[in-house]
C-alpha cells in the first residue's frame, strides 16, 4: 500500500493529460504540439506507474518503458517530418497542412 492515494495520482495524471491536450488543440506551431504530446504521454506514464505502485506490481513500470520507446520513436519521426515541413513551407504552422480538406 503506497502512501499516496491512487485517486490523487490519477488526478495528477489527468491534469497533465488535459494540459497536454489543450496544448495540442490550441497551438499552431507544430513544435509545440509535439511538446504537448510529450506531456500527454508523460501523463499516461504517471497513471501507469501510480497504479503499479498502488498494487505493488511491476507491470506498470513495464508499460512505462514501452511508452518511453513509443515516445522516442514518435519524437524522432515527428521531428524529421518537422524538418521536411520547414523545408517545404518555410513555416511550422500546422494549419498549412490541410490538403486533406474535403
| 67-96 binders of another protein (CB under 8 A) | 68-77, 79-84, 86-92, 94-96
- Closest Cα partner for 35 from 78, 90, 70? 78
Binders of another protein among residues 20 to 49 (CB under 8 A) are 20-29, 31-36, 38-39, 42, 45-46, 49
Contact call for residue 14 and another protein (CB under 8 A): no
CB contact at 8 A, 44 and 50: no
* Closest distance to another protein from the beta carbon of 38 (Å): 6
The secondary structure element, H or E, covering residue 59 is helix 59-89
Smallest distance from another protein to CB 34, Å: 8
Least separation in angstroms between CB 56 and another protein: 6
End-to-end alpha carbon distance in the chain: 53
CA angle in degrees (0–180, nearest 5) for 83-28-75 = 40
Number of residues that bind another protein (CB under 8 A): 77
Amino acid at each position: 500500500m503506497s502512501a499516496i492515494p491512487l485517486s490523487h495520482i490519477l488526478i495528477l495524471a489527468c491534469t497533465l493529460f488535459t494540459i497536454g491536450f489543450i496544448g495540442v488543440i490550441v497551438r499552431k506551431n507544430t513544435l509545440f504540439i509535439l511538446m504537448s504530446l510529450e506531456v500527454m504521454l508523460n501523463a499516461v506514464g504517471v497513471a501507469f506507474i501510480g497504479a503499479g505502485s498502488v498494487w505493488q506490481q511491476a507491470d506498470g513500470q513495464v508499460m512505462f518503458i514501452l511508452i518511453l520507446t513509443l515516445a522516442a520513436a514518435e519524437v524522432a519521426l515527428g521531428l524529421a517530418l518537422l524538418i521536411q515541413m520547414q523545408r517545404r513551407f518555410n513555416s511550422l504552422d500546422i494549419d498549412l497542412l490541410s490538403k486533406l480538406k474535403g
